Chains A and B, each alone.
Chain A
């Protein structure tokens, strides 16, 4: 039987994004030494939204890069087929910058570990923080926690959290489903 549950709908998403941006501003204003790094492939839409909102609020450009972690993952060759890399586009050096890693879901923590490994190939940041839309609690394999959290949820390993965006032709929102019963 299909079991799909919506965790965040469109109006709530607006509120959550707004709160996350104001939390960032609280810690990083005037935002002139801070950069955003969206994690490929699913963190970049969230990063785009955060960047657009921040720029609207503070009236200045916020540097944003896309970071792919494929070649730094620890599960290479433990999968049946190779991981396909997405584009990395980091058009700035992160040396001495305050970096905010942005991803849609924090689950095992392995992607974030790989992201930190990939990130330091662009320089040594002065500080790194993590922003996620969804924090899957009690699911961590590594000691990784987020600094900014949209919403925390209790999930089972057999469940999947899916974040959908208007830009991809879907309705904005976050859904919880069983692994074989995805919303899209």
Chain B
């Protein structure tokens, strides 16, 4: 396989294992490019990309923007704060106005699940989902699984525990799909109130005990407590969450084997991860950030070849 089937990247659910491998293979080449003295290639020099962010984002937008610039694309950034969205403009009107300025690709983050799917049905440009509510965050899942593949040479057969706020996380769902498509075993772990009711139907193991999850896994992907998405209290206090689900070096050292720690960021230091873990040799958090640029370059490169002039 040397091409993606769709002209959009809306979710991991739509990708096959082979397509994910193609993205990894292409990301390998881009990882080499971004470690050159001159980190830029001209592949997308005739493409204009709009980063349309209806929700706050630092690292995802920065990572996409770097990926786009290293492919020589022209980039415009849009954020809904201070825009006409506040005056009542619809999503489709906003995006159509941007497209009227001859934009070829749209990278969109939106608080509503399904917003990029809606957009993809109505516009000609390629759409990349940069996170839609609590639904999917495909490029994050791709960079997480690519980081495992980079460190271990394969994802197949690995045991990955996703620990934390599963209920409000788009990263968790996309990660579960990606890991399973690549042959990994997945466990989710967190307080019962932060686990989706039907999560077992996704074919994952479930644990309420963080020590049990850590003893089981090769890799722990630790997620942030998404306080901004929580309308009601799901646990008594951050301190209590940290006591029961926080991962510190003492806990890691007490395990029967060393494990790898991942985190999509931003980290609530002292809540889900202590600083001595986040900054330790167990963590590959900064590798994830570097891999994120290479993976996003790969996705944009492969999708751009599906763009009709």
Taking Cβ atoms with an 8 Å cutoff, the residues of A that contact B are 68, 70-72, 76-77, 79, 81-89, 93, 117-118, 120-123
Contacts and interface: CB of A to CB of B under 8 A. Distances in A.
B305 A88 contact: no
B304 A68 contact: no
Interface of B: 2-3, 25-26, 28-29, 32-33, 36-38, 40-43, 46, 301-302, 304-305, 307, 309
B41 A71 contact: yes
Contacts of A84: 2, 25-26
A23 to B, nearest CB: 31
A93 B36 CA distance: 10
Contacts of B33: 71, 88, 121
A121 B34 CA distance: 11
A131 B3 CA distance: 33
Given A82-B3, A82-B301, A121 B29 contact: no
Contact of A72 (B28, B32, B41, B46): B41
Count chain A CB atoms within 10 A of each CB in B28, B46, B301 and give the residue with the most: B301
B37 A123 contact: yes
Overall SS of chain A's interface: loop
7 contacts: A70-B29, A71-B33, A72-B41, A72-B42, A82-B3, A85-B26, A88-B33
Given A71-B29, A82-B305, A121 B3 contact: no
Given A71-B43, A81-B3, A117-B42, A76 B305 contact: yes
B137 to A, nearest CB: 24
Contacts of A77: 46, 304-305, 307, 309
A72 B25 CA distance: 18
Contacts of A86: 29
Nearest to B72: A71
A85 B29 contact: yes
Given A77-B304, A82-B305, A68 B38 contact: no
A121 B25 CA distance: 21
